[in-house]
Structures are given as C-alpha cells and as structure tokens.
C-alpha cells in the first residue's frame, strides 16, 4: 500500500497521529472516537491493513473477528455497565468512510440510561 493510501487508522497504529488509546494488544488497538455519537464511543481496529470491512475479515480471519468482538465486550464492561452496541459499517453506501475494518463500540456510560433505537442515525 502506498504511503498516500494508508488509512488514518494505520497512521494511528504507527503512532503518526495521536489518539486516546484505551486498549492495545498485539493484534488490536482501541481508542475513543473523535466525534462520539454516544457517551461511550470507542473504535476497535485490527492492526492489519489486510481487511477493508467486516465481511472480508470474517472470510479471511474469523479468529481475529472473534477477538475483536471479545475485546469490544471487555471494553464495554470496563467503560460502562457492559451493555453495548457493536456497529460495523460495510461499504460507502452504509456509511463506511475509512476502509480499514473497524468496529464502533457504543454505550451509555451511566447505569440506568440506555441508547434508544434511532438515536444513532448518522454513524
């Protein structure tokens, strides 16, 4: 992949762009979204540039996808009450703007509050 084609996530992983990192492992990184749509809005990103979207990840490395989902669950437990929404946008028509697979982990951080259907229309 040419230098000019690297995604913003690849640049965050490389330490070229700062991010509020909340989790970092050998294969995944998670950080706070810079334009949150919920009280807790984290992005969980595989460190590989190999997969553009969740469908490619599921076909190419289902174990990494399972690790990503388990990490999302752990982060929701750590940053809120454990209830969370896990969103993958796949394709430009579905709102994907960064073509490096990633998951949005979203939750209300206060116990007793929730994310209502229809509240995250512009994700």
Q: Does residue 79 have an active-site annotation?
A: no
Catalytic residue among 100, 102, 104, 113: 102
Question: 115: closest CA among 7, 48, 39?
Answer: 39
| Phi, psi (deg, nearest 5) at residue 100 | -135, 115
118 sits in the region (left: phi over 0; alpha: psi -120 to 50; else beta) called left
Residues 57/64, Cβ–Cβ less than 8 Å: yes
Strand partners, 43: 31, 104
DSSP conformation class of 118: T
Q: Which residues are known to be catalytic?
A: 102
């Amino acid at each position: 992949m040419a230098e000019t084609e690297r995604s913003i996530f690849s640049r965050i992983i490389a330490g070229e762009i700062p991010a509020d990192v909340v989790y970092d492992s050998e294969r995944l990184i998670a950080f706070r979204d810079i334009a949150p749509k919920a009280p807790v809005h984290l992005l969980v990103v595989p460190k590989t540039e190999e997969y553009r979207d969740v469908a490619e990840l599921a076909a190419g490395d289902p174990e990494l996808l399972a690790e990503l989902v388990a990490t999302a669950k752990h982060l929701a437990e750590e940053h809120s009450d454990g209830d969370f929404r896990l969103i993958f946008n796949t394709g430009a028509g579905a709102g994907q703007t960064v073509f490096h697979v990633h998951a949005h982990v979203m939750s209300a951080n206060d116990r007793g509050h929730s994310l209502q259907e229809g509240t995250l229309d512009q994700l």
